[in-house]
Chains A and B, each alone.
Chain A
Amino acid sequence: MTTEELKNLTSNKVVDARGTACPGPLLAAKKAVGEIGSGEILEIYSADEGTKVDIPKWCQKMGHEFLGIVEEDSYTRLFMKKA
């Protein structure tokens, strides 16, 4: 998805993991994914650089669809769709 498309996307759940370093954002994502339904969209805020590489890898292994990232000033918004 393009950045514009992602920005217009309505997430079913937003989890703010900016206050944690590895593996905080990943654990936050895992917890949040358990709280949404199949096909719903989860948005993760992370200030940890590694998350940008980690979350797509994790999604691939877990079967979720990684939609893309939107870079903000001091953090990243990551979008994924639950399988």
Chain B
Amino acid sequence: MNNEFEQQIAQLQARIGKMEAGTKDQLSMVVFSGDLDKILAAMIIATGAAAYDMQVKMFFTFWGTAALRDPKKTGKGKNFMSKMFGKMLPKGAGKVKLSKMNMCGMGTSMIKSIMKKNHVASLEEMFKTAGELGIVIHICEMSMNLMGFKREEMIDYPNLDVCGVATFLADAAESKIQLFI
């Protein structure tokens, strides 16, 4: 009888150990959107999570990648289509627009001045804070290829890597929280 109990306890301990090893105090985020409002929300959640000592990993894909361009840098060896895309897409976090009420840029500049008045950090400042907090940024390689962006035109950021969906999935699988923005 005792032996059976001991066996069951050992089995349960092994299962709990496995479960605990599976989830880290980690937040994984997909930043798909390239809108000012949505990226701002993503950055606020990310930095907030970092205040909780959570490891934060942000996977920037599709429209989101444009926010990571450095306005002072240019990519080399682009073809015609890539150049066109490069012209049409916002060049960096300072150029992304509101998802609603943009009104030819009027809404965006209005919200930026309201943000300033309310002491809300700008996207550029948020990226700087995120870097200081050790937040990891992954950029989807496929999206960069589609948009025609080059690694050398992306912002200087301490923890920035170009990778694929497998990296996101590996991170997300061991995270307590996963978000798609």
Contacts and interface: CB of A to CB of B under 8 A. Distances in A.
Interface of A: 19-24, 26-27, 29-30, 47-48, 58, 61-62
Interface stretch (B13-21, B58-66, B115-123): B115-123
B48 A23 contact: yes
B44 A30 contact: no
A38 to B, nearest CB: 16
Interface in B62-98: none
Interface of B: 44, 47-48, 50-53, 118-121, 129, 133
B47 A62 contact: no
22 contacts: A20-B119, A20-B121, A21-B118, A21-B120, A21-B121, A22-B44, A22-B48, A22-B120, A23-B44, A26-B48, A26-B51, A27-B50, A27-B51, A27-B129, A27-B133, A30-B51, A47-B119, A48-B119, A58-B51, A58-B52, A61-B52, A62-B53
A23 B119 contact: no
A78 to B, nearest CB: 14
Contacts of A48: 119
